């Protein structure tokens, strides 16, 4: 794979801002969420366009992970709306949300969350297997993704036998194997050293752009946010769109 450098280009097929070319793929508007007496989100909003990578930044406890979880349908907000195309994710059934998370959404978390009992190739193939694909075909596709992310050598190993950087690249492959329309990445380099973190974020953004997946990238690291097309800052549960990164 050819690695890219951080870029400031607008969303694909756009001649200016994303709004000039296409309708947003995912829109969270007026989102509110409390956990007990703690207000995590208060009138937070975010729009995501096809093929766009948006970095969500903010201090610890600002609500950025809660925003991602609301946008992904993992957590239902107390108020506001999350629109995915014509679907309101705040109102659909849990089974419909599960279908979306299995087929059209991909997920990448700080510690990978790979299944420890499965080999790396089985971990990557798992989303396809859950969708009904045969083991042979799913694992063949998984090997292709492991090769693409330069970790084919760990295919038969368990996650516990891999380095942190290798394991996170396996997790990237698993997040992208279904060719999702949206990838939700929550601090994907937070548990890695700077060298491995740089490699993982380059591979994630390269692969996402090649497959035209949009990405919501939660991070507190400016060097990671530099790979996004646009930055949204969350502070005290509210969002502020800073636009394209310079």
245: confidence class by pLDDT, cuts 50, 70, 90: low
Predicted TM-score (pTM) of the model is: 0.87
pLDDT at residue 1 tops 60: no
Q: Indicate the SS3 state at residue 212.
A: coil
Query: How many beta carbons lie within 10 A of that of residue 66, not counting itself?
Result: 24
pLDDT at residue 4 tops 60: no
The better pLDDT of the pair 44, 190 is held by: 44
Task: Report the first-to-last Cα separation within the chain, whole angstroms.
Answer: 25
Question: Taking a C-beta distance cutoff of 8 angstroms, is the pair 101, 182 a contact?
Answer: no
The pLDDT of residue 9 is: 39
The pLDDT of residue 200 is: 92
pLDDT at residue 145 tops 50: yes
Q: What is the mean pLDDT of residues 94-101?
A: 91
Q: What is the mean pLDDT of residues 54-69?
A: 93
Instruction: Give me the residue label for tokens 């969303």.
Output: 11
The pLDDT of residue 110 is: 83
The pLDDT of residue 19 is: 44
The pLDDT of residue 15 is: 34
- DSSP annotation of 217 reads E
Q: Indicate the SS3 state at residue 203.
A: helix
Question: Taking a C-beta distance cutoff of 8 angstroms, is the pair 236, 42 a contact?
Answer: yes
């Amino acid at each position: 794979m050819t690695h890219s450098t951080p870029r400031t280009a607008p969303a694909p097929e756009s001649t200016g801002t994303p709004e000039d070319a296409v309708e947003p793929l995912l829109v969270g508007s007026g989102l509110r969420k409390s956990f007990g007496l703690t207000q995590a989100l208060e009138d937070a909003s975010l729009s995501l366009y096809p093929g766009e990578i948006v970095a969500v930044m903010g201090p610890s406890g600002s609500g950025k992970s809660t925003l991602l979880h609301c946008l992904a349908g993992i957590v239902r907000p107390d108020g506001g709306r999350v629109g995915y195309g014509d679907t309101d994710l705040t109102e659909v059934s849990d089974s419909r949300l599960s279908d979306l998370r299995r087929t059209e959404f991909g997920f990448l978390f700080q510690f990978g969350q790979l299944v420890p009992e499965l080999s790396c190739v089985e971990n990557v193939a798992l989303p396809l297997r859950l969708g009904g694909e045969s083991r042979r075909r799913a694992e063949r596709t998984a090997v292709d993704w492991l090769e693409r992310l330069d970790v084919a050598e760990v295919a038969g190993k368990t996650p516990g036998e891999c380095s942190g950087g290798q394991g996170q690249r396996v997790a990237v492959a698993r997040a992208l194997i279904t060719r999702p329309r949206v990838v939700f990445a929550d601090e994907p380099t937070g548990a890695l050293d700077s060298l491995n973190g740089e490699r993982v974020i380059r591979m994630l953004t390269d692969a996402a752009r090649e497959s035209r997946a949009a990405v919501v990238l939660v991070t507190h690291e400016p060097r990671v946010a530099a790979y996004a097309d646009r930055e949204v800052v969350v502070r005290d549960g509210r969002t502020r769109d800073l636009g394209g990164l310079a």
